[in-house]
């Protein structure tokens, strides 16, 4: 009996060892943490609707080894180094310019079990001229309704409360209410921010009236503590844009001239910028303080921490001002901040974090992504090059874009081909490139538009489809969406323009009527869910559609503007022969070779203008006010025949040729 017991024990031991190997080495059920989530969003797990189940995925969405992790490919680390770079350079095949194919649209847009021909018919068919004109008029009517109600019920306060039909200014009772006080400076923000939208829509009489109101009633000599970034992009940028429109000798939008105009808007822009300059003083890194008081300077209790986008997205407006005035000061301080941030990037990944200490240069927020805290930093590296032609801006952007592709981009390489999930850009640790969370925010929807500008249209098409699918699900973009849990993390929608902007630019690049249908969906959603008695209100909750009593100024300066331009094919922006670029707040800027002439380049060296302690040293004196007027400028979007060319070829050949430099 003992030998039988021994044999039985050996058999059981062998079976036990096989069981352990079976579990540990993937010969049985996976013991990995991640299981494949049904990522539907209307995406049906983000795979082809009529294709087979995807196998377990390795890095960058490629098939992994048997028994490997079975989570979504977005959860997997990307391929690094030369292999990733080589993969990104391969241009994916597409069925036609501007669309990922009918099967792709069918399942991306929520078509569980629906005929793919339905989506082909609806989204890739013609968009009749009569319908386009109807949508153009609807977009203009949306702007007029919001603007007229602001002027009737809120002016001269900063914003309109559209539900209760009254104005809103800074929250004097609660200085810590940064959501309000960072933006509202008691300077008629909504009126100032909307100036160039009036011109683009051809309303010369209201534009002239609004400009005179701004000149006569707006002052920056206020005891208001505002965020430097918001004051720059919303107010300074709008003043400069309107000034350029007024002084443009060609007047493409109609007669926007102002009788006896004496560069008042440019003087106002100068006054505001001077009041923002204290933010750049007494900072050891050259990175500015996040807030200033317009009357007294940096508050004594000011925070030493700022976000990368807020500190590094001032160069376009400050640079235009410097080159119009002939005063290097403003461009110099903004450029020094960009370089300081750039020099703090990770040596391993080339990525930047989202929050930094302006005195120590240490990263407080180590998240690297494309949304809040970083978005416009990348945008302005490119747009600064387009405007000013400084090659170091292009070099920084190209390096940043390579790091983004290598570490933030997850999923398969092609939009509509291959195994795994479609491409998505995730949030990672700036030093390791490891995934930090599983959400994206609505600000990231700007990135497809930026990709259009650099010619990476294939990737832009696919990423845009991701955000549009979320919009289709809720009739709005939640502020933050968790792609793993398939649910919003932050539920409000403050009428943001980023998806509309990318839709407009993709249409300009591809001329595919799909994007007109997208714009129509967005217009109809805004009319249905956000229109109230006296304007358009923030959605507090994208699911139950409850509202907040606030209409932010960017709704008129950006959201309505991009919707209008999407449907107004004959607009002078498209037909006048003058090419334009938009700032991060949607303000239109004509670019000419005069803006690319920098007589003070030597002052942009690392050791010029301030010492290492951030104390002011000699700068060139401001000459008498000089105004540069010209209409020739570079193209907003790449030629659709070129959008598979390498980045440098797109920039150097197209942009430089457009401004007549070569």
φ/ψ of residue 99, rounded to 5: -155, 145
What are the E-state strand segments in 87-171? 159-161, 166-168
- Tell me the Ramachandran region of residue 186: left when phi exceeds 0, alpha when psi lies from -120 to 50, beta otherwise: left
Distance CA 360, CA 591 (A): 37
Distance CA 393, CA 1 (A): 85
Q: Contacts by 434-440 with C-beta closer than 8 Å and gap 24+?
A: 434/77, 435/75, 435/77, 436/366, 436/367, 437/367, 438/74, 438/75, 438/482, 438/483, 438/484, 438/485, 439/480, 439/481, 439/482, 439/483, 439/489, 440/369, 440/371, 440/480, 440/481, 440/483
Per-residue tokens: 435 = 């995934």
The angle formed by the CA atoms of residues 294, 295 and 298, to the nearest 5 degrees, is 65
Distance CA 178, CA 224 (A): 12
Residues recognised as catalytic: 230, 375, 479, 498
* Helix (H), strand (E) at residue 415: none
* Helix (H), strand (E) at residue 291: strand 291-293
Any residues with CB less than 8 A from the CB of 360 and at least 6 apart, and which?
284, 285
Q: What is the DSSP letter of 159?
A: E
Instruction: From residue 605, give the alpha-carbon distance in Å to each of 283, 597, 608.
Output: 18, 16, 5
Report the 10 Å Cβ neighbour count for 84: 19
φ/ψ of residue 173, rounded to 5: -75, -20
Per-residue tokens: 244 = 């350029």
Any residues with CB less than 8 A from the CB of 140 and at least 6 apart, and which?
201, 560, 564
Q: What residues does 535 pair with on adjacent strands? A: 532
- Tell me the Ramachandran region of residue 578: left when phi exceeds 0, alpha when psi lies from -120 to 50, beta otherwise: beta
DSSP-derived 3-state class of residue 323: helix
Per-residue tokens: 375 = 């978005």
Distance CA 556, CA 201 (A): 12
* Helix (H), strand (E) at residue 373: none
Q: What residues does 651 pair with on adjacent strands? A: none
Axis-axis angle for helices 514-529, 457-474 (nearest 10): 30
The alpha carbon of residue 347 and the mean position of all alpha carbons in its chain are separated, in whole angstroms, by 25
Any residues with CB less than 8 A from the CB of 439 and at least 6 apart, and which?
427, 480, 481, 482, 483, 489
Q: What is the DSSP letter of 73?
A: G
Q: How many residues are listed for the chain in this entry?
A: 662
């Amino acid at each position: 009996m003992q030998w039988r017991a021994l044999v039985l024990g050996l058999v059981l031991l062998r079976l036990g060892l096989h069981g352990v190997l079976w579990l540990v080495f993937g010969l049985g059920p996976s013991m990995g943490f991640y299981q494949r989530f049904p990522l539907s969003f209307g995406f049906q797990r983000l795979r082809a609707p009529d294709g087979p189940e995807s196998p377990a995925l390795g890095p960058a969405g490629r098939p992994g080894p048997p028994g490997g992790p079975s989570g979504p490919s977005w959860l997997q680390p990307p391929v690094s180094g030369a292999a990733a770079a080589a993969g990104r350079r391969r241009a994916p095949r597409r069925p036609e310019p501007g669309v990922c194919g009918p099967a792709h649209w069918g399942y991306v847009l929520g078509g569980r079990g629906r005929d793919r021909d339905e989506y082909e018919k609806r989204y890739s068919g013609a968009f009749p001229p009569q319908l386009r004109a109807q949508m153009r008029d609807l977009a203009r009517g949306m702007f007029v309704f919001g603007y007229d109600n602001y002027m009737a019920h809120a002016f001269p306060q900063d914003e309109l409360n559209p539900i209760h039909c009254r104005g809103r200014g800074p929250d004097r009772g609660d200085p810590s209410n940064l959501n309000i006080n960072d933006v509202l400076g008691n300077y008629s923000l909504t009126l100032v921010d909307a100036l160039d939208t009036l011109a683009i829509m051809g309303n010369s009489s209201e534009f002239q009236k609004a400009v005179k109101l701004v000149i006569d009633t707006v002052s920056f000599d206020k005891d208001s503590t505002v965020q430097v970034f918001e004051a720059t992009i919303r107010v300074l940028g709008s003043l400069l844009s309107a000034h350029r429109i007024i002084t443009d000798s060609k007047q493409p939008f109609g007669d926007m001239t102002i009788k006896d105009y004496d560069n008042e808007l440019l003087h106002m822009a100068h006054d505001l910028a001077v009041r923002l300059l204290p933010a750049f003083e007494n900072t050891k890194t050259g990175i500015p303080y996040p807030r200033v008081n317009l009357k007294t300077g940096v508050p004594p209790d000011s925070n030493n921490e700022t976000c990368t986008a807020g500190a590094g997205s001032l160069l376009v407006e400050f640079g235009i001002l410097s080159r119009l005035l002939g005063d290097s000061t403003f461009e110099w301080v903004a450029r020094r901040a960009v370089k300081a941030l750039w020099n703090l990037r990770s040596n391993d990944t080339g990525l930047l974090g989202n929050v930094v200490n302006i005195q120590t240069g240490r990263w407080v927020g180590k998240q690297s992504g494309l949304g809040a805290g970083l978005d416009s930093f990348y945008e302005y590296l490119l747009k600064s090059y387009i405007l000013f032609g400084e090659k170091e801006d292009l070099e920084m952007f190209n390096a940043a874009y390579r790091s983004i592709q290598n570490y933030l981009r997850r999923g398969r390489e092609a939009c509509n081909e291959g195994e795994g999930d479609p491409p998505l850009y995730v949030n990672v640790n700036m030093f390791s490139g490891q995934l930090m969370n599983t959400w994206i925010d609505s600000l990231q929807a700007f990135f497809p538009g930026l990709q259009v500008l650099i010619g990476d249209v294939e990737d832009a098409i696919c990423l845009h489809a991701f955000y549009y699918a979320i919009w289709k699900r809720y009739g709005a973009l939640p502020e933050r969406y968790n792609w793993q849990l398939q649910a919003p993390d932050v539920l409000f929608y403050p009428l943001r323009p980023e998806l509309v902007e990318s839709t407009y630019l993709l249409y300009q690049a591809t001329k595919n009527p799909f994007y007109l249908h997208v714009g129509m969906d967005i217009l109809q959603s805004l009319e249905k869910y956000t229109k109230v008695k006296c304007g358009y209100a923030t959605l507090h909750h994208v699911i139950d559609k409850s509202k907040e009593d606030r209409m932010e100024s960017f709704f008129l300066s950006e959201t309505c503007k991009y919707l209008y331009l999407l449907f107004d094919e004959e607009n002078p922006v498209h037909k006048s022969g003058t090419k334009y670029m938009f700032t991060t707040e949607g303000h239109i800027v004509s670019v000419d070779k005069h803006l690319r002439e920098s007589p003070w380049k030597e002052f942009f060296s690392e050791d010029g203008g301030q010492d290492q302690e951030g104390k002011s040293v000699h700068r060139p004196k401001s000459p008498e006010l000089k105004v540069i007027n010209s209409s020739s400028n570079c193209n907003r979007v790449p030629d659709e025949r070129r959008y598979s060319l390498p980045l440098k070829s797109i920039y150097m050949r197209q942009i430089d040729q457009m401004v007549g430099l070569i």
